[in-house]
Structure 1
Amino acid sequence: MAEKLFGTDGVRGRANSWPMTAEMALKLAAAAGRYFRRDKNEHRVVIGKDTRLSGYMIENALTAGFTSTGMNVFLLGPVPTPAIGFLTHSLRADLGVMISASHNPASDNGIKFFGPDGFKLSDEAEGEIVRLLEAGVSPVAPENIGRAKRIDDVRGRYIEYAKTTFPRGKRLDGLRVVLDCANGAAYRTAPEVLWELGADVIQLGVEPNGFNINENCGSTHPEKAAQKVIETRADLGICLDGDADRVILIDEAGRVSDGDQIMGLIASRWARDGRLSGETLVATVMSNLGLQRYLEDQGIGLERTAVGDRYVVEKMREGGFNLGGEQSGHIVMTDFATTGDGLIGALQFLAAMVDTGERASKLARVFEPVPQKLINVTYEQGKAPLEADRVKQAIAAGEAALGSSGRLLIRKSGTEPLIRVMGEAENLPLLDQVLNSVTEAVRGAS
């Protein structure tokens, strides 16, 4: 296979184009089904999806592939990605699948795999599935073909579980919350959880039509939610993304806080209460230098990983840590979930509001971020701009110029043909100069 199939978060691409075609989904499911078959009579896979129109096509193709290898398929319908991790384990399935392109536009889609323990697959497991796909998988005998059925009560299972992560005996009575579900997978579950806990919920992004997921709403476009917070004098705004595995918060004044601020708050509270395993937070190389300095002042360690919540989780499991995440809003709390969970992350923030009686504006900005700028540079497929000498030289010069007062991070996107050029420094003119030099070199090699 000439092109790499798996990216940083499963398989992703434009719907009805390679690799997100019905044919590829069928073959991928057959290979994954063969890989996860166990020595027992019944083999199960759970499949959930977000609200994209192409989800129907991919769901049917995956079902055909899995049943052809003898897997019984449980179809869950639209549910958040973290619910798949939870339900894979809860339903004793051999694997779980989420059909979603997360925060990407409706024209894209993706396939994420979860193992029987509810965690995303390792690079090794993905590599073995690709090997089986390339070799070809023989179907089972007619009498061994799997069955498929829809499970109707799974949303309620996840709702009840999510509520158990909120402190026992506490409620959200008296709190007005604007909730933007991005017209995505949590458009029914998230409002119900907050309402059942007592909040006055003002809903946005809860009318999916197959095409409007993440469209000017949700965690990537929090402007409407921020405006609604001010208009309704809400106490907090919560913005989820299309599959609800990330969250962005808005305080009562309409100011937006990212995952770094949320992680900083939870880490300090858990450390104070003796709940932070290893006195360490795990975050990616993208997390702000201000978060690192704040944690150091709190006596909390910081472990950095490559970008992708899967890599965060791998480091957490390796080190026995229970809190990690990404600046983009993935908040991973392995005491509660096997992957990023935007709703449960928001519930932890709401718990802090209830416990302290403080307003969101005080809790949602625990450190002053170092100015950070990110520039995305598109490159032509088949080219490798980061291998060019002029790009390497520009990066080296930029790092030397910033020295210890800033950071420069250049990386290739795992899901799109982009080179992400990120820099941090208090000296903004110097930062702009460095970023312009590097991006110009990357464009010249793209």
Structure 2
Amino acid sequence: MKAVGVIVEYNPLHNGHVYHLSEARRLSGADAVVAVMSGPFLQRGEPAIVGKRARTEMALHAGADLVLELPVAYAVQPAEWFAYGAVALLHHTGVVDSLCFGSESGDLDSLQRIARVLAVEPAGLREDIARRLREGASYPAAYAGAAAALAPGGVDARDAAALLEQPNNSLGLHYLIALERLGSAIQPFTAARTGAAYHEATPGPGAIASATAVRRLLMADGPEAAAQYVPATTLAILQREWQTGRAPVHWERFVQPLLHIAATRRASELASIAEVTEGLEHRLIRTLSQLAEPSVDALLNALKTKRYTRTKLQRMLTHVLLNHSKTELSPSILAEGPGYLRALGFSSKGQSLLKQMKRSASLPVVIKPATFNHSQLELEIQAQAAYALAYTDKDTRTMYSDYYDPPIRY
């Protein structure tokens, strides 16, 4: 059975994602789709609007056959480590033949040429990034500029810069770099995005809107407001999660624990937390004392500068909330890769893939987290417990659902 991998967050799954799944099958000729999906907290440092089990259901209804969880150690990271962790999971399954990612350009050849150069960490790359940061660029812009300057023959530096300014192109580049560094035989494909742009805040004509626009509709008016832009199965799941008080989850639901932690930590303690860099611990403490209102949005707006993007600051606050230390999320630790393959859900084809993985995978396949020990899984269980505190009805079994709930079978 040929399997194609996709790397997703589904926050929430919408019609554009259904198109991507269809294109992944078509371009790769695969019989099954393996989705690597972030858990409760996402790459941009945000809590998912609905929980990982609900999003797993959405994925299975939309055509995914096996959903694997991307550990939070990689899920809440800049593109380099997010991509490396996700691609490594697909690589270690031993059953995934191809990877299909979305991009604005659809230009796989140019991205691959740049990836081959950057995979070996060229001399001067980090120094160029540091120089651009000192000049006031955000990290994504600094990386894109430095990468474009090293564009190989056949790729004009200006064209490369324009290419990498687009978020999906940039993330796709990191997937390709990860494949190179892993020496993986997985074959990459890219599907050009259609309809709404990645950050487009309002829906346009047609049935495809960006996840950002869909979330705005959901937050303003509830699930029915997004009905045009999501599959019927996604809409039903969203309605259920709203009715049970498990959604919508957003930063303000964490304001009390987050501000308590930030207000009761010494600067030296905050400085040990992942993504608290360059004196941000002092800026955080000073800003807290000057807030006009106790809200996460107000805190982020007050912290934000040209140098520190909202995404960078959200990731920092997520690590503060979850007490993720620099030591346990250091580059040397992350470079070791994920330590297991955890199944969140599967179809009948996915179940066949799991049986195959038990023979072919180069990492342990985890079905019951309660029977498996790993430091990354401990972080995942803690993240889920913290996430569940945002639900209307709180109980310890829900907080520690990772111990009790089996994978979803579709």
Please classify the TM superposition score into its range, dividing by the shorter chain length.
under 0.3
Q: TM-score, normalised by structure 1?
A: 0.25
Where relative contact order (Cα < 8 A, 6+ residues apart) is larger, the structure is 2
Which structure features the higher share of helix residues?
A: 2
Which structure features the higher share of strand residues?
A: 1
Report which of the two structures shows the higher radius of gyration computed on alpha carbons: 1
Q: TM-score, normalised by structure 2?
A: 0.26
